[in-house]
Amino acid sequence: MDRAEKTGLTFAIILLLVFFSLIVYAAKGLKIDIPTCVTDVEPFQEGKLIKHGEKRYELHILARMWFFDFNKGATEIKIPAGSTVDIFVTSKDVVHGVHIQGTDFNIMAIPGTVGYMRVKFEKPGVYHVVCHEFCGVGHHAMQGKIIVE
């Protein structure tokens, strides 16, 4: 290996290590983490929005062919701005994907499993939710809305 090659290689390794350290810092230091294995909540059969307190909610999203059940069949829910919501997701049938647009909430809904992430809705507005995983002929109409007031 000549000198230029060694310099190039070292630079590449350092660059990748810097990137990776930043990711680990964001995940563990700033707590921007991705879904993990949930073993204590069983898959549910119905969507539910539970109010635990002032601006504290728990949301069970049931994804199914071809709509999101946010709360007993409703595909639209309203919550006050500044709410912190613990969101659980499962699927009734096939694999779906749930992306609450404008937030980091992006999770797969896989039958037999439960996904979990926490979201804080600071800004008021309409948060669109679209299914982004192919789930059948109705896929392109599978969506919902979270209205933050």
Partner 1 sequence: MQVSNAIKFIILTEIVFPTLLLVFGIYHGVMQVLYRAGVIKAESFLGIDYYQGLTLHGVINVIVFTTIFIVGFSNAIVMYALKKPLREKVQWIALGMMVIGTMMAAWAMFTGRATVLYTFYPPLIAHWTFYLGAVLLVLGSLVPFFFDWIPSAIEWKRENPDQKLPLAVFGTFVNFILWTIMIVPVAVEILFQLLPLSLGLVDEINPLLARTLFWFFGHPVVYFWLLPAYVALYTILPKIVSEKGKLYSDPAARLAFILFLIFSLPVGLHHQFTDPGITNTWKLIHALFTFGVALPSMITAFTVAASLEYSVKAEHPELKNSKFYWWTFLPYMRLEGNKWMFSYFFAGLVLFFFGGITGIVNASYNVNLVVHNTAYVPGHFHTTVGGLVLLVFFAMALYMVSKLRGTEVKFKGLAVLAPYFWMQGMFMFSYAMMVGGVITGFPRRTNTGLTYLNPDSPLYRPEWVGYAQLSVVGGVLLGIGFLFFFISLMATLFAPKVRESVVEFPFAEAYHDAPAPMLNNLKTWTVATIILAVLSYIPPLYDASVRGVFFKSPAYIEKYPMPLKQLQGSEKNTQEKELSKAEKEVAQR
Residue 82 interacts with partner 1 (CB under 8 A): yes or no: no
- Write the interaction track for partner 1 spanning residues 45-74; mark x where CB under 8 A is met and - where it is not: -------------------xxx--------
Shortest distance, CB of residue 124 to partner 1, whole angstroms?
18
Is residue 60 classed as helix, strand or coil in its secondary structure? strand
When binding is defined by CB under 8 A, the residue of 89, 119, 146, 148 that contacts partner 1 is 89
Angle value at C-alpha 39, between 58 and 105, nearest 5 degrees: 45
Shortest distance, CB of residue 35 to partner 1, whole angstroms?
5
When binding is defined by CB under 8 A, the residue of 10, 14, 33, 147 that contacts partner 1 is 33
Q: Is residue 149 within 8 Å of residue 81, measured between CB atoms?
A: yes
When binding is defined by CB under 8 A, the residue of 5, 29, 53, 54 that contacts partner 1 is 5
- Comparing CB distances to partner 1, the nearer of 9 and 50 is 9
Binding site for partner 1 (CB under 8 A): 1-2, 4-5, 8-9, 12-13, 16, 19-20, 23-24, 26-27, 32-39, 42-43, 64-66, 89, 93-95, 97, 99, 101-102, 104-116, 128, 130-141, 143
